[in-house]
Amino acid sequence: MINKIKTLTGLSLLIGAVAACSNPTASTSDEATADPQKVLTIYSSRHYDSDKALYAMFEEETGARLDVREAGASQLLETMKAEGDQSPADVVIAADAGSLWRFKDAGLTQPLESEALEAAVPESYRAADSQWYGVARRIRGIAYDPNRWDAASLSTWDTLAQADKAGEICVRSSSNIYNLSLMGELIHRYGEESAQNWATAVVENMARNPQGGDTDQIRAIAAGECSIAIVNHYYWVRLGASESEADQQVAANTSFLIPEFVEGSGSHVNITGVAMTKTADDTELVEQFVAFLLTENGQFYITRDTKELPLLSTTPLPEGVDRLPTFAPSDTHLDVYGENQADAQRLFDLAGWN
């Protein structure tokens, strides 16, 4: 508890420092002039109202201005490549450690070394070389028809490769970053040969060719097209929290579980994270922004609409997330998801997972 208090205090001091330097007191000297307003340009793959509220709070507290540009992670990546050294981006916000690794691998980020941030973010949820920091957690798990399966029959990822799951599985394309990161950890856990065998068996157990997004897979269960789907937790939670009665019914007719790799090994957890770009020149302001995302207010708003899990255990869970079962996270470092990404796609291709 003492360490946590020190960490939060350190983050608060970072925010206070920006407020102080962005809102200087008036000088008594006739020659004194106000500092120009600081601007932080953010390239974000997110698009939520709660993020807009978060940005407004940061601007109000610090006096800085945020120039936010939203697009898909792949589009932002290609944009930054085209912009090169002239890119205005200071910060990249992207879902999935595998996505952040792509920005790093393309030489578009730089280390953000900060004792306060390192103290706040657990080691496995930040890049070993400080190229990115996680700010929210997400779980890839299994949605299923409770009338067809019980949780015990789906408790580990290898159960999806069993013969009794033939014709029962719905899942999106192998090129989706969520699947690539999952496969990256499967390679780390099982080895390449076993991981490929798993993927091949899952393909044989598919109810249909991979298509659509995670929400489509859950709806396919409710429609009777399959009885098992590989999805991120928040898609299922959002359906249950939707204002649409039809979506609520889909969630009510399905269940969600968080499998382990083997019993007692922990579950696959990913992140939404933040990286400082190679072209950023105000390192202090970038650090203050990331620190702000790790305050209680920052954690609340960054997870409110997405239904992700806060990174700080002291932050209340978003509405509906309490429906999730308890789980223990894997101790695999998330750098593995990027490092194994090319091999993951290769093994998916060999397995015939389109």
CA-CA distance, 310 to 135, in Å (whole number)?
Answer: 7
Does the structure show a pLDDT above 90 at 266?
yes
Phi, psi (degrees; rounded to nearest 5) at 286: -60, -45
Q: Which amino acid is at 70?
A: E
CA-CA distance, 49 to 335, in Å (whole number)?
Answer: 30
Does the structure show a pLDDT above 60 at 352?
yes
pLDDT band at 2 (very low <50, low <70, confident <90, very high): very low
Instruction: Confirm whether 208 is domain-assigned.
Output: yes
**Helical H runs in 231-327?**
233-241, 245-252, 283-293, 296-304
Closest among 35, 125, 66 to 288, alpha carbons compared? 66
Q: Residues 79, 178: one domain?
A: no
Does the structure show a pLDDT above 90 at 174?
yes
**pLDDT number for residue 264:** 85
Instruction: Confirm whether 160 is domain-assigned.
Output: yes
Q: Which residues pair with 44 in a beta bridge?
A: 70, 93
Q: Which residues pair with 206 in a beta bridge?
A: 169
The domain total for the chain is: 2
Q: Residues 197, 338: one domain?
A: yes
**pLDDT number for residue 11:** 54
**pLDDT number for residue 18:** 40
CA-CA distance, 300 to 316, in Å (whole number)?
Answer: 7
Domain range for 158 is: 138-267+329-351
pLDDT band at 205 (very low <50, low <70, confident <90, very high): very high
**pLDDT number for residue 263:** 86
Instruction: Confirm whether 324 is domain-assigned.
Output: no
Helix (H, G, I), strand (E, B) or coil at 274: strand
Q: Residues 61, 208: one domain?
A: no
**pLDDT number for residue 34:** 53
Instruction: Confirm whether 339 is domain-assigned.
Output: yes
Q: Residues 112, 166: one domain?
A: no
**Mean pLDDT, rounded, for 212-240:** 98
Q: Residues 223, 344: one domain?
A: yes
CATH code, domain carrying 202 = 3.40.190.10
Which tens digit of pLDDT belongs to each residue from 76-123?
999 999 999 999 999 999 999 999 999 999 999 999 999 999 999 999
Q: Which residues pair with 93 in a beta bridge?
A: 44, 274
**Mean pLDDT, rounded, for 239-268:** 95
Q: Residues 125, 259: one domain?
A: no
- pTM (two decimals): 0.90
